[in-house]
Structure 1
């Protein structure tokens, strides 16, 4: 339990360091802190699962894989080059596939599924349609395909309850902020800060939702999830 809490605290410190670096425009701090986030969160997930008792050692490998694919995307997006961006998007897409498999295997049907699906479908079509003309031509199809996969993940995340559902929605918001920047739309001040804030909260809530679903009696500690480009 102590290691679990230490890893969660380290995750929080790395988030704070990353967010602070983004607010201060301190690029080296962002470069150091960002790659630490997902490995620390994956380590916390493993320890939290082992603390469950009778299922110790059986942390779902798909959850760890999803977080580590997120780490791969985080590292690749540190490089300002189109091949790195496409590679990062592919790594995040692989993570979304892992999450989708988890939600399909362990999720249950929830009320209001149809209205939620319609809302996500409308958001997907509307966002891609609005972004399409402003995206670089070579990125239009990859971004559209990735958006479809991301939206499906966000929609299915609600099968694991409120925490995971909120995580899926925040992941969608985070990547929409990235896409709007690529399309050169007007941005909020310090857009990278908001991207990291929503992304880190999304990954934490998704991991917490998976753990809580697989063992509802487990005490999964909470922490303020702050803090991606």
Structure 2
């Protein structure tokens, strides 16, 4: 094992522990513990990316996600909109990464079905949510949804791992949007939002690192046992 990978493993283990702690806090209904664990998640994952010499844009995407995480802890509309903007910046970073490292051999028929599926998901979600969203949130949510869906679709070009990450990110933010629209929620909605979000960021990270270099493809297998 190289010195770099040896130094990276503790960061990945710490990320897994923070994720477990955050999810347990949400199940237990502990806002205090959630406030402690949530801000640790993306910096630890970004630290892992730095340790394995991953792309700087990937580190930036995760840190923009961290900014969104922090801002969404505040229960105020301006903070929510700023958090949405921070996540949007992260999605732009991902889009650039997917363009650089994506595979050009995707079958046209398969890509066409994916375009149709993601377009239908975008249009259907926005149309259904629109009447129930606060008037001042409709434009920002629609614009953000377009960018998020584009990122989720583009992630499929890196393979199934990143594609799953993009789909889970889309699901996580859709759950947030249904909460804003005051739709009926599953028990412990914040748990499901964070579970899908944590998995999304991890899988996107794994997908980018694997696409960047076969040497880093071991990320998924090394950390599968440590990830909740």
Length-normalised TM-score, structure 2: 0.93
Q: Distance in 1 between matches of 2:120 and 2:203?
A: 24
Q: Out of 215, 218, 225, which is 1:217 matched to?
A: 215
- Number of the residue aligned with 1:184: 182
Number of corresponding residues = 217
| Alpha-carbon contact 1:158-1:165 (below 8 Å) kept | yes
Q: Does 2:129 align with 1:131?
A: yes
Q: CA deviation at 1:4?
A: 1.2
| Alpha-carbon contact 2:60-2:90 (below 8 Å) kept | yes
Q: Out of 145, 156, 159, which is 1:158 matched to?
A: 156
**Which of the pair is proportionally richer in helix?**
2
Q: Does 2:12 align with 1:2?
A: no
Q: Distance in 2 between matches of 1:198 and 1:34?
A: 14
| Alpha-carbon contact 1:200-1:225 (below 8 Å) kept | no
| Alpha-carbon contact 2:49-2:55 (below 8 Å) kept | no
Q: Distance in 1 between matches of 2:59 and 2:10?
A: 18
Length-normalised TM-score, structure 1: 0.92
- Number of the residue aligned with 1:52: none
Q: CA deviation at 1:44?
A: 1.0
| Alpha-carbon contact 1:154-1:169 (below 8 Å) kept | yes
Please list every run of 5 or more consecutive structure 2 residues that lacks an aligned counterpart in the other structure. none
| Alpha-carbon contact 2:84-2:144 (below 8 Å) kept | yes
CA deviation string 1:122-176 (max 9, x = no partner): 0000000000000000000000000000000000001111110000000000000
Q: Distance in 2 between matches of 1:8 and 1:190?
A: 26
Larger CA deviation: 75-84 vs 3-12: 3-12
